[in-house]
Structure 1
Amino acid sequence: MQIEPFEIAIADHELDDLRHRLRATRWAPATPAPAWQQGADSAWLRELASYWAGQFDWRAAERKLNRLPQFLADVNGQTVHFVHRRGAGHAPGFKPYPLVITHGWPGSFFEFHALLDQLCDPAAFGADPADAFDVVTPSLPGFAFSPAPAQAGMSAFQVADRWATLMRGLGYEHFGAQGGDLGAGVSIALAVRHPHAVDGIHLNFLPSSYEPATDADRQPLTPDEQDYLREKNDWAALEGGYAHLHGTKPLTVAASLNDSPLGLAAWIGEKFRAWSDCGGDIERVFSQDELLTNISLYWFTQCIGPAMQMYWENRLQPMRFADGQRVDTPLGFARFPKEINHPPRSWLERTFNVVQWSDMPEGGHFAAMEQPALLAAEIRKFFRPLRAKGG
């Protein structure tokens, strides 16, 4: 497997074009309504667009991103961009444990910038240096600097196959996996398709397409499970329009979002507010610079269309299990209070070997950005007994 170092270098004319488009925005008229009730708030968008066009320093963000050790690799015919940060050793012969962490939508590898510090150098945060990880954070195919797949069919299962190849190519015969959002599906698929290499998976989200293996006629739904399924359906009816569109007509909206930075910011920014533990004030949790670094990655790489198409592929290959099928790989789950769904433990135990379960005190869908210390502590705790195999 060929691996090459990579640095981000956005051309000056791309920055000029972005600023021109933002300043030439044609603002959509609307009937007055309470802020955020019908989607992205116009006043917030105007402020963000003004900052993006006049004050946001992409070059500073680029320098910060380039401090991460980034690479490109040809993995089974797919070019994959990834960060590979090695852990800080604490004694002669010590080997940090290898972990692949996968992002989702509307995130990117940038989501993990603070979590990487916590996982790779725990001693710097007062944690046990023996809990250090070698962390690999790939960009999903079609996201950021991983180009769009050349052929259809790149669902979570096919991504998992490439992650397993990537980890072997980096010298890791055994490793762990972690993820939320789309990354949770990839992590589950790794456990399903590569159980001899994957020691354990840790999740902070359950894919909405998950259906357990056990026949409900033999194991009736518990009251908690019934409440969960009802809440999930209610959420999908009011908040899930984006996912239905991504999964059925992604290229229609991609034509607009790839051409309008303001539209892209609205599409992504509204989710960072709605899905995070921000109490309605998005900048209480995410700075404008953080939001715009992530949004700019989507803009400059023109990846919004391919990113949405992964929903199409996952719809065709959902996370469903046959009656009697079990996934024996150990699983840990951190359930954050403002996550978009809250499955009970029993719902996962119908299929998975759940060995760690934590109800977190705060945080939402973007846990790695919102609560990196809390998430890192859960990951360290889960993988501690599995480290003997790693490497």
Structure 2
Amino acid sequence: MVKFVKRVATPRPTALAEAPSLNTADVTLMLRPESWANPHNEEIDRLRACVHVAMAASARVGASAARAITVDAWRAGEVEVLGASMYMRKPVWLPVVVDAVETYRNALPKSLKTGPLLIVSNRGRQIPANNVWSLYRTFGRRHGFDGGELQTRLFQYFDRQLDREEEERATVAALAGCRVGADNEYNLPWVEVRRAELDRDLMQRILEDRHDLAGATERVLGAQALGKAEAERTFFPVKSLPTSTSAILDHDPVCVLLRDTAWTDRQTAQRNRLKRAHLEHLMSLRDQKLLRSNDIAYLLHVRTTTVEVWVAERRLRMRTPEQVETERYWKETLPGLFLSRPRMERPKEFYARIAADKRLKFPMTFKWMINTLSQAKAFGPRRRRRAASAA
């Protein structure tokens, strides 16, 4: 007899938007180590991410090519990477790339500087390309788009910088790895590209004239440039983006309004205004178990822990005098009952016994009980009674 097992439908993951087209302000902010900070990486990882962004945005060198660059080639100025049509090319580096690499190398521990590779993992080995993609995806998810397309957007940003050069198309092709405009893609002789690669001074001059990140790093990443970048950026961080959302987000008018709201650079003032207008409605949906805390965090661009704080504050405001007196009584009584419990009785067993005793009328949750016992320092080994001294 064949048995059919009923499959439970799992929530569909939240769809990520397409990665936006990057402007100079976006790339400038991505060159700050703070932009890559998350609980799962270290300072070295953030500085390494800045190196990859600088190389991709100002030299069209991707993570796969950058991971093979050696220290000797970098110091000698003889770095070669694989370009289009499977030929090796020599990139031209702007000061922002050189300084990003030097800052990263100076931050490496001495034990990781002895290897031949310029960019290494935290164990001193060749960094897997997947590590960079994972970092890009994490960055994109924090900003509400697909980070897997981030390197492509950086390449497109570099191409747009050189599209303004109309005369030296062979030099542009050499700088971009034989990438030229659609108008002369097929009639540009290959020999001209190879000849243009020999004129390094012309390549350097065109890149510095046309690229917005050219010039001293202090100017590109200075306080004035970062302030301007904050005002002109095109995407903003989404502090919580759940993997799945509740169904009511597609039907409730308030949820739809908040979901489709465009966030500006003054997010704090905007959030406070929306919070005053709609938070109570969202909390009522949460009380009905139609909405979760991470859904509210997504709608108001905060962390889930922040929503939990709002929930706790709301619960305290809504308490009746009887509830206040009940909590006070149990805060004073629980530590003594817990310390006098039977030997080997675990906290969950203690909670079940107290909650099942109808005479006690214990209305609190297990989490509240644990917090109360922790504040009273009731956890830990109990003192043993001293044996009565012999007469």
TM > 0.5 between the two?
A: no
Q: Report the TM-score range of the alignment, normalised by the length of the smaller protein.
A: under 0.3
TM-score, with structure 1 as normaliser:
0.19
TM-score by length of 2: 0.19
Higher relative contact order (CA 8 A, sep 6+): 1
